[in-house]
Amino acid sequence: MNTTAPRTHERDAADPTPASRARALTKVYGSGAAEVRALDGVDVDFASGAFTAIMGPSGSGKSTLMHLLAGLDDATSGTVHLGSTQITSLDDDALTRLRRDRVGFVFQSFNLLPMLTAEQNVLLPLDLAGRAPDREWFDTLVTTLGLQGRLTHRPGELSGGQQQRVAIARALVTQPEVVFADEPTGNLDSRSGAEVLSFLRRSVRELGRTIIMVTHDPTAAAYADRVLLLADGRIAGDIADPTPESVLAGLDALRTLEAPAGTPTGTVPVVDVTAGGLR
């Protein structure tokens, strides 16, 4: 049993390796007249120990990008790395192990097992992997997420916000290198959503996690350190230290942009919110 202090997955300060990165990443569905390029030559880095939100209009490719980064879908071309591991070259068994041991997931629908208690749901990934829990790390998560009095409750006995906190603890219990969150507040009221987003931010700032979140909500995105904007399967903007107002401005600017004829694959005019123009 692991009795050492919780790992933080913090990289050496001299190590510039991003937690996750994509190069020339392309995903095509269909063929011929029915072909859809969900991602079109995306190059992007996600820093370790940071909270990044991915936003864009419906059909912009944000969910596709997250699925490819997390190894949940196969790229048509290009590469994805988790740390120093190129996941686009892994076979199915190796991908399964990587997702189990090095990646965490938080979903809009919670995905808790109704017959298990909160504690059993949190520990489920370790049980499936045949690993003993690090009780010190488990206690840290429970305390940080305010679940001390809810561990014996089943999901049906918890509020939506409490269920999502259990789901976050489950995503973090394996001490993954990256946690991917897909619309984690989509089924929550505004108060519960704010609580969950605060816990995600605390997990980055206090527990050293790396989080990549897809959201359509500018208020939710403003909890992140950075907002990546997508349009038509391409990177279209990058907002540091976002506020709801700057995110809304970026999204509004996207609606007025079109890639000019002859634009190279993987590039579009990029929203510069500060300057109010393009860069």
Helices (DSSP H) in 41-104: which residue ranges?
Answer: 62-69, 92-102
pLDDT one-digit tens code per residue, 235-272 = 999 999 999 999 999 998 887 765 454 444 444 445 55
pLDDT one-digit tens code per residue, 17-52 = 899 999 999 999 988 888 899 999 999 999 999 999
Q: Percentage of residues in the chain with pLDDT exceeding 70?
A: 86
Please enumerate in sequence order all residues whose Cβ is within 8 A of that of 200, keeping only pairs 6 or more positions apart, or say none.
Answer: 51, 106, 168, 181, 184, 211, 213, 223
Mean pLDDT within 160-189: 91
How far, in Å, CA of 133 to CA of 21, rounded?
29
Q: Which tokens is 144 given?
A: 């940080």
pTM assigned to the model: 0.83
User: Residues 77, 24: contact at Cβ < 8 Å?
Assistant: yes
pLDDT one-digit tens code per residue, 52-91 = 999 999 889 999 999 999 999 999 999 999 999 999 999 9
Q: What is the pLDDT of residue 83?
A: 94
How far, in Å, CA of 105 to CA of 181, rounded?
6
Q: What is the pLDDT of residue 207?
A: 84
**Is the CA virtual torsion 140, 141, 143, 148 positive or negative?**
negative
Give ∠ CA 184-191-216 in degrees, rounded to 5.
40
